[in-house]
Structure 1
Amino acid sequence: MNLFTDLRALVIDALNTMVAEGALPDGLDFKNVAVEPPRDAAHGDMATNAAMVLAKPAKMKPRDIAETLAAKLADDPRITVAEVAGPGFLNLRLDASVWQGLVKTVLEAGTDYGRSTMGQGVKVNVEYVSANPTGPLHVGHTRGAVFGDALCSLLDYAGYDVTREYYINDGGAQVDVLARSVYLRYLEAHGQEVAFEDGTYPGEYLVEVGEALKAKVGDAYVDQPEDVWLAETREFATEAMMDLIRADLKALGVEMDVFYSEKSLYGTGQIEAALETLENKGLIYEGVLEPPKGKKPEDWEPREQTLFKSTEHGDDVDRPVKKSDGSWTYFAPDIAYHYDKVSRGFDALIDVFGADHGGYVKRMKAAVSALSGGEVPLDIKLTQLVRLFKNGEPFKMSKRAGTFITLRDVVDQVGPDVTRFHMLTRKNDAPLDFDFDKVLEQSKDNPVFYVQYAHARVCSVLRKATEAGIAIDDATLSAADLTKLGHEAEIEVAKKLAEWPRLVEIAGRTHEPHRVAFYLYELASDLHALWNRGNDLPELRFVQEGDVATSQAKIALARSVAVVISAGLGILGVTPVEEMR
């Protein structure tokens, strides 16, 4: 189903023939031989680096290898030209029948066209969002949620066994602050005037929680000391916030497989077990860290702590896991949590963190490397900030003040589909501008609109064909005489369709779902270009009056574009539209 893979197999077969004939020496490794689009489309349809990567180990000139290989490949009916370029690159031009046949392949496979077995069922855990349960998700969490969810769908499409996981940070002091904030709202519900001080959360989203707590316990906590109400209020508030977060995620189309509580690690021996595993490997010791680099803080003093020898696994400095007072650092439960992931049998781990977690990357990778003996890779993807604009002006947010823009605010204004697509129009580690006006703009400059418009245009063609009495079911279209697709503009669209399976594998391998959004925009552009040329050249129009056979061939091409757009949007979590409104 991957034309590039098929052509690479052809190249490898030709190289093996050359070895058998003595044109190449035995024992060559072909793993770095690639077939890919040429840098300049004018050079051909595909190019292979075979001669360049084999020249040194074969002790031969690249052009000598390329010329022999070109002669072998030219015998295949799919290849019309095999041309040596430069020092030994080999450019290939394919027969039009290859591109015409690709349309049939797409229609027969449907949205499974491009689905890969590359992942071979490898078990991958993707942890994303994992916001503190102290309030509703804000727009920064939205980007991490969309990126993580699209990455999971992409990996699933590429053949991995994926688990979506949310780590509930309910073990830290911030949840005590949440409980105190809810208690203030509880008192407020009883008619008392309250003041939000000492870092408590003043957001109005806690008003309902305070009222719900009143409904549950009545006046039992009124004017009582903390030790009476803190523990139960903390649990009540955390669950209320997680219900809110789950609802926010659902509004965005995100559903988790696992919600894992940090609090479950405390008092259960799991933190101790994880650190014992490291200690048994000689990686835990008592020591004193060097002062922070740069200007030494005035209150810094050397203290003996329990340290993880993370430098033995790629970190810059060793990291404390227990403070001098005997309490755990934030890092200790994170080590235990990842040890639990490794123990659950995952073959690979991916963490999606916010931009402010950049300093956590090396230490977490070191921990997983040590815990798994280097067997389980951890990839950490950082999502950079989202800059909000409204009416052309920057829109500020402040979580502490309770005036921040929530995920639900964004979804309610522009919808989940627009939100999700736009969040993937930049690579995850690049800042992203989200302008509430521009993301709804109906223009080529708005990729969400442009891709959806392409799908809607194909649907309009199908409706017009149906009205004209032309059969347009996929089985009929795939059996059409596709040799009628001979115009350069039509072939270019088919060539773009051929890139889809390769793109899926590249994006899956690099953990970069934004590549799917970029590809869909390019495919949509090719479809729009073909449509516009049909305005000037009647023979390029999809419905040819009085010529059912030609119409079905052209409609087959348009339909195959819609199939791939639908598959790509499915990965992004976006619903394709049938008509623009």
Structure 2
Amino acid sequence: MTETHIFAAVLDEVRGAMRALFPELPDDVLARVLVEPPRDAAHGDMATNAAMVAAKPARQPPQKIAAALAEKLIAAPMVAEAAPAGPGFVNLRLHESWLRARLPGVLTAGPRYGEATIGAGRRVDVEYVSANPTGPMHVGHCRGAVVGDALANLLAKAGWDVTKEYYINDAGAQVQALGYATYWRYLQAIGTAMTEEDYAAAVPGGLQYRGEYLIPVGEALAAAHGGALATPEKTPIEPALWLDTVRDFAVARMMEAIREDLALLGVQHDVFVSEAGLVRDGKLAQAEARLDAAGLIYVGVLEPPKGKTPDDWEPRPQTLFRATQFGDEVDRALRKSDGSGTYFANDIANHLHKIERGFDALVHVWGADHGGYVRRMQAAVSALSNGRVPLDVVLTQIVHVLKGGEPVRMSKRAGTYITLRDLIEEVGRDAVRFTMLTRKSDAQMEFDLDRVIEQSRDNPVFYVQYAHARCRSVLRQAGDPEAAVLAGAPLDALTDVAEMALLRRILTFPRLIEAASEAREPHRVAFYLADLAGDFHALWNRGREDATLRFIREDEPEATRARLALVAATASVIRAGLAVMGVTPVEEMR
């Protein structure tokens, strides 16, 4: 959609001009030429680095190239002014008439406006949430879920073939602890006379998870098995006789609850992959065989971890992966000294599974506490794919929930934290999703329950939704003209500085989608929508002060059609941006 992608259109002109000036310039040099907004809006609409990129291969000073390029570009149909600046930039100001002529394309594209082709149909697996199935989804999971889901939507908008994946961590000590805790709730359901303290003493480590959410799981287990999993006195039998059954039952019930919570948030994964299933299927052995065949596995002894002293560190031979060959700080253990697989080894199996399914790129959304794990996982993926498949990891920081200016720390149901369901019931799904994207994912954030429902410009959720509602109110007042009708409106009446500012913002949406998807930063969409809403509200307020700028004027039908076209385009872009965020636009504020 180059017609409505003004940066792509100008980039084509810049590269064409550079090719005309320097016919021998290599293609890889031209590929590094960029057209971007200038740091200072007073310098124009766009700036290009073409002269600096070409200086060395062209063997000319960048300032000289910039002067020649500016002279060449002034002949381009969209360029009103071109001026060299600084060390070799060329600042460009575009004809307002050319910008106005892009507006019909925005209206015609409708919800497809902003779609990009940089993904080129390549397949990307976006894995997010992937919480241990040991309890309800909490606020930390919520942020990762929203960021991951919005990022997947963003990549799809940018032309990627996206698979949304949930990796079920159901093969570890925490899941075993879930089995023990569920068994206690089962004993309660069948009427045991034991106390919690009795059970904890009889089954070591049996009560790590004490939340009330396991009570219905224990009751369902009792309904399914009666008293068969306990003694006639309703006390524990040997764990080997019930642990697998209880653990698998509990995981299945927890995953049902997790799916329900995610559905409340508007999150639906395409694929659920079980860690335990991969282990059973021998995927770990396959991964080790592949790495071993490449000479990347050996038996060795690691140096003590940072912070460990020789007195509290016991060196022991382990099966190690040569992660340092792929940029990691140290080699990493695949198997413990007892021969069992490490957590990292199972993760390698998971990634081999993704690579074998033919993905061209992998993206993970992890909590910030996994930051130290990124480099080793990227090393493993590079080794398993021979460098073909990149792994990008997006880290999400913790969320502090506030109400009345005080931290909200606990949910009655979960016992120790506020749940995702609590949050949605308090402020609504759309407010949760939008707010979680109002900060960069790796920055800590405060989720203020009072602020999120506040009707003021300081609340971006309200501010953006109010802009859309105002747009829809104007269009309803005008009889809801079809986009095709408005696309044919003469647009010369759009000359006011506020009108052109809004139009310019609308026309940057395709570039925003490309840049945000490449940076893996869906929060940029929220920032953009807040800016777009600000431009629209500014124009609305101008109309209140100056009657000639009102959207609907019976004495100026042509100007009215032009302004309605601008309003309709604004509403369309807000809807497109909210769709990426997974937020439903409102028709009117209540």
Using structure 2 for the length normalisation, give the TM-score: 0.94
Structure-2 separation of matches of 1:401 and 1:244: 13
Structure-1 separation of matches of 2:411 and 2:472: 44
Structure-2 separation of matches of 1:227 and 1:78: 76
SS of residue paired to 1:83:
strand
Q: Which of 402, 417, 428 is equivalent to 1:415?
A: 428
Using the TM superposition, name which of 91-100 and 72-81 deviates more.
72-81
Structure-2 separation of matches of 1:65 and 1:359: 45
Letter in 2 for 1:37: P
Letter in 1 for 2:120: Q
Letter in 2 for 1:542: F
User: In 1, are the aligned partners of 2:135 and 2:414 still within 8 Å (CA)?
Assistant: no
Q: Which of 215, 226, 235 is equivalent to 1:218?
A: 226
User: In 2, are the aligned partners of 1:116 and 1:159 still within 8 Å (CA)?
Assistant: yes
User: In 2, are the aligned partners of 1:202 and 1:400 still within 8 Å (CA)?
Assistant: no
The residue correspondences of 1:108-507 to structure 2 (distance < 5 A) are 108-192=108-192, 193-195=194-196, 197=200, 198=205, 199-222=207-230, 223=235, 224-296=237-309, 298-397=311-410, 402-466=415-479, 472-507=481-516
Using the TM superposition, name which of 388-397 and 128-137 deviates more.
388-397
Aligned-pair distance for 1:297?
A: 7.0
SS of residue paired to 1:388:
strand
User: In 1, are the aligned partners of 2:213 and 2:413 still within 8 Å (CA)?
Assistant: no
Structure-2 separation of matches of 1:378 and 1:107: 37
Structure-2 separation of matches of 1:16 and 1:161: 33
Match of 1:99 in 2: 99
User: In 1, are the aligned partners of 2:468 and 2:587 still within 8 Å (CA)?
Assistant: yes
Structure-2 separation of matches of 1:26 and 1:250: 53
Aligned-pair distance for 1:432?
A: 1.2
Alpha-carbon displacement from aligned partner over 1:29-88 (angstroms, at most 9, x marks no partner): 212221111111111111222222222321223332222222222223322212222343
Aligned-pair distance for 1:397?
A: 4.2
Change (3 A) 1:474 1:129: same
User: In 1, are the aligned partners of 2:70 and 2:83 still within 8 Å (CA)?
Assistant: yes
Match of 2:44 in 1: 44
Structure-1 separation of matches of 2:166 and 2:89: 47
Q: Percent identity?
A: 56
Q: Does 1:518 align with 2:527?
A: yes
Aligned-pair distance for 1:401?
A: 7.3
Structure-1 separation of matches of 2:365 and 2:383: 20
Structure-1 separation of matches of 2:451 and 2:291: 51
| CA RMSD, Structure 1 to Structure 2 (Å) | 1.7
Q: Which of 568, 577, 586 is equivalent to 1:577?
A: 586
User: In 2, are the aligned partners of 1:188 and 1:194 still within 8 Å (CA)?
Assistant: no
SS of residue paired to 1:484:
coil
The residue correspondences of 1:5-44 to structure 2 (distance < 5 A) are 5-19=8-22, 26-27=25-26, 29-44=29-44
Structure-1 separation of matches of 2:268 and 2:246: 27
SS of residue paired to 1:482:
coil
SS of residue paired to 2:22:
helix
Letter in 1 for 2:519: T
Using the TM superposition, name which of 45-54 and 374-383 deviates more.
45-54
Using the TM superposition, name which of 403-412 and 242-251 deviates more.
403-412
User: In 1, are the aligned partners of 2:136 and 2:414 still within 8 Å (CA)?
Assistant: no
Q: Does 1:558 align with 2:561?
A: no
SS of residue paired to 2:126:
strand
Letter in 1 for 2:527: F
Aligned-pair distance for 1:511?
A: 0.7
Structure 2 gaps of 5+ residues are none
Structure-1 separation of matches of 2:414 and 2:130: 22
Structure 1 gaps of 5+ residues are none
Change (3 A) 1:561 1:306: same
Structure-1 separation of matches of 2:71 and 2:302: 65
Letter in 2 for 1:356: D
